[in-house]
Amino acid sequence: MKLRILGCSGGIGGRHLRTTSMLIDNDILIDAGTGVGDLSLTELSLIDHIFVTHSHLDHVTSIPFLVDTVGGMRARPLIVHAIPATIEIIRNHIFNWVIWPDFSQIPTPEKPWMQYRALQLGEALVINGRTITPLPANHVVPAVGFSVDSGRASLVFTGDTTTNDPLWEIVNRIPNLKYLIIETAFCNREKALAITAKHLCPSMLAEELAKLERSADIYVTHLKPGEIELTMQEIEDCAGQYRPRMLQNNQVFEF
């Protein structure tokens, strides 16, 4: 299995800052931030599934454009997988005929370009040998993270979350854990904002990583443009013993 980072920034600006999206092999997206727009038309047409962590714009902004662009090129609908609360938000606030057409109903309700599939927390879905499981997240809207298991090794993406004991209870039971991608959206001076917005800052990240009982390569995502260097230095100061590295756009994980 190959997972490619299409975007991992908390904002945009320049050639390297794209919001959250990850491409598994050539047919599965985890989130659909601005990085999806860098794919070619052929690459876009090959995507069959989108697994959505939550409804915030930096994680779903490319879904409307993706469906509109390739829907007519495909023989089957694009499947959007999310927990029921997230599906309801996307349906009511994006694909509502006001912000964007409802592609779950067109060209016809019988043969739409997009379909929703509800996920349940902790229930694994297997797609061609790849197992994707929704994990608990603690955010300001209904949210999940995901575990991706190739059969040989697993990668965990926390999604957007603040302190989250239920996540670690599950992660610590994953025997083949290899990679952990975890967010840190704010620097330490903005800890109050991180708490309000239900994100992490470096001091909170250190407290969360202390709950990890398994060995894993740790990567930090969702850094805010303009604060990247400061936040990574604070992460080194607070959590350096866990050897976290900054996730990079176009980074590839094979496992």
Instruction: Convert the pLDDT of each residue in 143-187 to its tens digit.
Output: 999 999 999 999 999 999 999 999 999 999 999 999 999 999 999
44: left (phi over 0), alpha (psi -120 to 50) or beta: alpha
Q: What is the pLDDT of residues 80-135, one digit of tens each?
A: 999 999 999 999 999 999 999 999 999 999 999 999 999 999 999 999 999 999 99
Tell me the pLDDT band of 23, cut-offs 50, 70 and 90: very high
Token digits for 136? 């608990």
The answer on pLDDT for 51 being more than 90 is: yes
Closest CA to 244 of 158, 166, 154: 158
**Looking at the whole model, is its pTM more than 0.95?**
yes
In the chain the domains, ranked by start, together with CATH numbers, are 1-82+84-118 (3.60.15.10), 121-247 (3.60.15.10)
Spatial CB neighbours of 61, under 8 Å, sequence gap ≥ 6: 19, 32, 33, 34
The reported pLDDT for the residue numbered 4 is 98
Mean pLDDT, all residues of the chain: 97
In this prediction, residue 141 carries a pLDDT of: 98
Report DSSP letters for 40-79, one per residue: -HHHHHT--EEE-S---HHHHTTHHHHHHHHGGG-SSPEE
Give the pLDDT confidence score for residue 221 in this predicted structure. Answer: 98
Q: Give the pLDDT score at 16.
A: 85
Residues 116 and 91: beta-carbon distance below 8 Å: yes
Which percentage of the chain shows pLDDT scores above 70? 100
- Report the alpha-carbon angle 216-219-220, nearest 5: 140
pLDDT (0 to 100) of residue 15: 79
**pLDDT tens figures, 212-240:** 999 999 999 999 999 999 999 999 999 99
